[in-house]
Amino acid sequence: MGIEFRGVTKRYPDGTVAVDNLDLVIDDGTITVLVGPSGCGKTTSLRMINRMIEPTSGSILLDEEDVRDSDAAVLRRGIGYVIQSAGLFPHRTVLSNIATVPMLSGWDRRKARRRAKELLETVGLPPELGKRYPAQLSGGQQQRVGVARALAADSPVLLMDEPFSAVDPVVREGLQTELLRLQSRLGKTIVFVTHDIDEAIRLGDKVAVFRVGGRLAQYGTPSDVLRH
Ligand code: ADP
Ligand code: ADP
């Protein structure tokens, strides 16, 4: 599913311009990385795709359809979203954390749990971890569960906000490798936010470099971006 930002500006009520007239085309089935220093509008841009944040002006299209024409809650539920802290429900087991997502779209419990078990395997976790609670997992394992839960939305679009920033460098590299492997198999449209240019270069089919003030400074393949 392609994503397009057309002249998108976000001004917060206090006057902060977080994103300034952003034009960006994200191709179907690619990983596009939004990179830049803290506060340059990456998270705001990401959250406008699933309407967690509404733009002040401009439009965002998913496969040519304005996201404003979709119900915000339905859109949010249907788009996989992974954040830095994994955001797992602490009082639910790993399996239940994942199974909740298909159950929200009406799957019965048994079918949802079966799907959740498949997804654990997809992200490289052993089935017995399904019975644990998030606090009983390492940071890297929690992020994998976060990815599995996002995949459970079964959406062509996956939004990832600094998903690997909280884990140590060795684990991070492993997670990056697996994301690339997963992507070559699943072919999702992934929008990935990071402040780490090396991570952007490693993961991105395309890299969008933001600068403070919410403007796009550069956009291209990793080698285009490295050349500048
Ligand atoms: P990034 O993800 O690149 O760190 P953000 O999109 O989180 O950037 O923030 C962009 C700018 O908007 C920053 O200056 C931030 O302080 C500001 N900002 C983010 N959320 C809000 C908000 N709810 N109200 C006011 N300003 C905000
Ligand atoms: P994340 O960890 O997802 O990047 P942040 O720590 O940037 O989130 O922000 C947490 C919450 O605070 C978000 O809802 C964001 O919109 C809001 N926020 C961020 N910066 C500001 C700001 N300068 N003023 C008001 N709210 C902000």
Q: Verify whether ligand 2 is closer than 6 Å to residue 44 (CB atom).
A: no
CA 55 to chain centre: 18
For residue 162, give the nearest of 133, 201, 200 by alpha carbon.
Answer: 200
What is the structure's pLDDT at 133?
A: 96
Give the least confident one: 38-47, 51-60, 168-177: 168-177
Residues ≥6 apart with Cβ < 8 Å to 161: 42, 43, 46, 81, 82, 83, 84, 193
Greater pLDDT, 226 or 221: 221
Q: Verify whether ligand 2 is closer than 6 Å to residue 45 (CB atom).
A: no
Residue minimizing CA distance to atom 6 of ligand 2: 43
CA of 85 to the centre of ligand 2 (A): 14
Helix (H) or strand (E) holding 115: helix 109-122
Ligand nearest to the CA of 44: 1
Ligand nearest to the CA of 48: 1
Residue minimizing CA distance to atom 12 of ligand 1: 18
CA atoms of 95 and 132, how far apart (whole Å): 8
**Which ligand 1 atom lies nearest to the CA of residue 34?**
3
Average pLDDT, the chain: 92
Share of the chain above pLDDT 70, in %: 100
Burial string for 52-85 (b: 16+ CB within 10 Å, else e) reads bbebeebebbbeeeebeeeeeeebbebbbbbbbe
pLDDT > 90? residue 170: no
CA atoms of 46 and 174, how far apart (whole Å): 24
**Which ligand 2 atom lies nearest to the CA of residue 85?**
2
What is the structure's pLDDT at 112?
A: 95
Structure-derived torsion over alpha carbons of residues 142, 115, 46, 1, reported in degrees to the nearest 10:
150
CA of 41 to the centre of ligand 1 (A): 6
ipTM (interface pTM): 0.72
Ligand 1 neighbours by CB, cut-off 6 Å = 12, 14, 16, 18, 36, 38-44
What's the Rg (C-alpha) of the chain? 17
CA of 15 to the centre of ligand 1 (A): 11
CA of 18 to the centre of ligand 1 (A): 6
CA of 43 to the centre of ligand 2 (A): 9
Share of the chain above pLDDT 90, in %: 70
pLDDT class for 211, splitting at 50, 70, 90?
Answer: very high
What is the structure's pLDDT at 167?
A: 82
Please compute the mean of the pLDDT values over residues 26-45 and round it to a whole number. Answer: 96
**Which ligand 2 atom lies nearest to the CA of residue 43?**
4
For residue 68, give the nearest of 80, 54, 81, 56 by alpha carbon.
Answer: 54
Residue minimizing CA distance to atom 26 of ligand 2: 12
pLDDT class for 36, splitting at 50, 70, 90?
Answer: very high
pTM of the model: 0.85
CA of 41 to the centre of ligand 2 (A): 11
Question: CA separation (Å) from 20 to 26, 44, 66, 111, 217?
Answer: 18, 11, 19, 44, 11
- Rounded (5°) CA angle 45-50-72: 135
What is the structure's pLDDT at 228?
A: 78
pLDDT class for 153, splitting at 50, 70, 90?
Answer: confident
Please compute the mean of the pLDDT values over residues 146-163 and round it to a whole number. Answer: 90
For residues 170 and 164, the answer to whether their CB atoms sit within 8 Å is no
